[in-house]
């Protein structure tokens, strides 16, 4: 479980300061599919980055499976991320000089018990593209590579920041369907940050943010498949 208490983060720009996280209290249960929803500037990406240990909080605590990551040193935090967390971003961040299999394999670096590249490529439907390079792939295929790279080390938690933000409706839905299927198969806890309100329908739990604060949490009694959601 992820537990956040009184989480705060402030960014400074010259003499001005912006409170990106204004005392967040939130629990994310194990095995859940959670959507964090809000417009640009609401603090949702900052929440993901701080929770995932990519940025330090200015105040409050974050515990993941009982580990207090807000008290870890940079070295401890790097090790914790490596062993427990996976990340998928709107931009794919693939290495252009490496093929698909090699890009995925970079995610297994120093992992204790990674999946085989062949297994993870089959899981995301990219086996036939293993020897292709990023420029030979569509946007959806490149995002599948980034998901495979994140999953190869078998993370307990997968954080996705606008994973469909650069994709058209058909491709975006296929990526969300893949995430749904992976969550059901592996019981990985998945947190998706998005501004698309329609994506909320696929989640177990929806966290709505505005101005650095959570103003509503919704538990979906009935989820829909990604193929069924409206896009706009």
Q: According to the model, what pLDDT value does residue 230 have?
A: 87
pTM for this predicted structure: 0.94
Res. 110: pLDDT tops 80: no
Q: According to the model, what pLDDT value does residue 33 have?
A: 96
- Please give the Cα distance from 73 to 159 (Å, whole number): 21
Tokens representing 89 are 């971003």
Return the exposure string of 60-75: e unless at least 16 CB atoms fall within 10 Å of the residue's CB, then b.
bebbbeeeebbebeee
- Please give the Cα distance from 179 to 64 (Å, whole number): 21
Nearest to 6 by CA among 62, 53, 54: 62
141-154 per-position pLDDT tens digit: 999 999 999 999 99
Please state, rounded to an integer, the average pLDDT across all residues of the chain: 94
Q: According to the model, what pLDDT value does residue 17 have?
A: 86
31-75 per-position pLDDT tens digit: 999 999 999 999 999 999 999 999 999 999 999 999 999 999 999
Nearest to 63 by CA among 34, 27, 36: 27
The predicted model gives 73-96 an average pLDDT of: 94
Quick one: 221 exposed, middle or buried, by C-beta within 10 A (0-12, 13-18, 19+)?
A: exposed
Res. 21: pLDDT tops 90: yes
Res. 13: pLDDT tops 80: no
On whether the CB atoms of residues 62 and 69 are closer than 8 A, the answer is yes
Query: Confidence class of residue 111 from pLDDT cuts 50, 70 and 90?
Result: confident
- Please give the Cα distance from 16 to 106 (Å, whole number): 40
């Amino acid at each position: 479980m992820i537990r956040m208490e009184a989480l705060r983060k402030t960014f400074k720009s010259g003499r001005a300061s912006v409170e990106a996280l204004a005392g967040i209290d939130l629990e994310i249960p194990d095995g859940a599919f959670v959507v964090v929803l809000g417009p640009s500037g609401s603090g949702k990406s900052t929440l993901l980055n701080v929770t995932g240990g990519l940025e330090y909080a200015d105040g409050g605590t974050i515990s993941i499976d009982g580990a207090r990551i807000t008290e870890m040193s940079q070295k401890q935090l790097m090790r914790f991320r490596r062993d427990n967390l996976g990340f998928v971003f709107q931009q794919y961040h693939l290495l252009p000089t490496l093929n698909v299999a090699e890009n995925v394999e970079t995610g297994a670096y120093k992992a204790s018990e990674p999946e085989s590249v062949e297994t993870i490529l089959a899981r995301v439907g990219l086996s036939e593209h293993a020897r292709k390079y990023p420029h030979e792939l569509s946007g959806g295929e490149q995002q599948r590579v980034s998901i495979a790279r994140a999953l190869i080390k078998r993370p307990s938690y997968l954080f996705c920041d606008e994973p469909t933000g650069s994709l058209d409706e058909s491709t975006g839905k296929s990526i969300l369907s893949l995430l749904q299927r992976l969550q059901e198969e592996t019981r990985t806890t998945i947190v998706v940050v998005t501004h698309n309100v329609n994506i909320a329908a696929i989640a177990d739990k929806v966290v709505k943010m505005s101005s650095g604060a959570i103003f509503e949490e919704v538990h979906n009694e009935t989820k829909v498949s990604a193929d069924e959601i409206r896009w706009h």
